[in-house]
Amino acid sequence: MILGKKIVVVLPAYQAGRTLEKTYRAIPHDSIDEVILVDDASSDDTVEVANALGIRVIVHEKNLGYGANQKTCYAEALKLGADVVVMLHPDYQYEPRLSVTLASMVASDIYDVVIGSRILGNGTKAGGMPRYKYYANRVLTFFQNVMMGAKLSEYHTGYRAFSRHVLLSIPILANSNDFVFDNEMLCQIIASKFRIGEVSCPTRYTPDASSIGLWDSIIYGIGVLKNCILYTAWKIGLFTPKIYQENPDFRLGRSDEDL
């Protein structure tokens, strides 16, 4: 626990057998109460490795996508009574030791959401991020900050911590089951005026680290631009996109009792 708050780390996994143990062992378990891994129908030994490490495992019988994996992650963490949920990729790309830092900033009620930024600290290129990903990140982040009136260093990191209240409040289930889920979630958080903090996080781009390819990156970029347009349309009152609707069916729960 941190400041009396229960901390749960969730690992959305797909083909993470080669990096899972290294990631798991680097998590500061003296401050983390639970670790949950959701396997999205991996064909490698991800589940076997997780079971050997004693991790709580949920398995999707078929591949549902990165966004769908996270939906399961957050629902399961909330069922366990998490006050703070940290989402960490099990591919050892992000620094697991910073999970306590992210969680502490939420547990202390300084921020509602904290992201691990690859851009702060100028360590991105040194960590091996491909040039096209770096420059696409910078262009998309600049555009999104202008369109959404925010000042984040990046919108595309896969390392995040959320308060329980945030996960129960935003319509997560309305989001995509694909990679653009992360960006939609940040748009919802900004729309709801939650407090967002950032932590500089070194990353490692190795052959074992998961990373979407060029074509998927292009599709993701188009999705980000679409999110900006939808946010602007909602903001000026043209219409209410599904991801901003107050439909209870789009939420993980209306109250703590629901989970």
Q: For residue 255, is pLDDT > 60? A: no
Q: For residue 8, is pLDDT > 80? A: yes
Residue 257 falls inside a structural domain: no
Residue 258 falls inside a structural domain: no
Q: What is the domain range of residue 234?
A: 7-250
DSSP string, 68-101: HHHHHHHHHHHHTT-SEEEE--TTS-B-GGGHHH
Q: Taking residues 98-106, what's their average pLDDT?
A: 98
CATH of the domain at 144: 3.90.550.10
pLDDT tens digits, 179-224: 999 999 999 999 999 999 999 998 888 776 666 677 888 899 999 9
Residue 30 falls inside a structural domain: yes
DSSP string, 140-195: HHHHHHHHHT---S-S--S-EEEEHHHHHHS-GGGS-SSTTHHHHHHHHHHHTT--
Residue 226 falls inside a structural domain: yes
Question: What's the pLDDT band for 170 if we cut at 50, 70, 90?
Answer: very high
Cβ distance 20 to 48 under 8 Å? Answer: no
Residue 256 falls inside a structural domain: no
- Could you tell me the two tokens for 152? 């984040």
Residue 194 falls inside a structural domain: yes
Distance (Å, whole) CA 56 – CA 36: 5
Q: Greatest CA span in the chain, whole angstroms?
A: 52
- What is the model's pLDDT at position 237? 95
- What is the model's pLDDT at position 121? 76
DSSP state of 110: S
Residue 2 falls inside a structural domain: no
Sign of the dihedral defined by the CA atoms of residues 132, 138, 142, 145, in that order: positive
Q: Compute the residue count for the chain.
A: 259
Residue 178 falls inside a structural domain: yes
Total domain count, the chain = 1
- Could you tell me the two tokens for 65? 């996508």
pTM of structure: 0.93
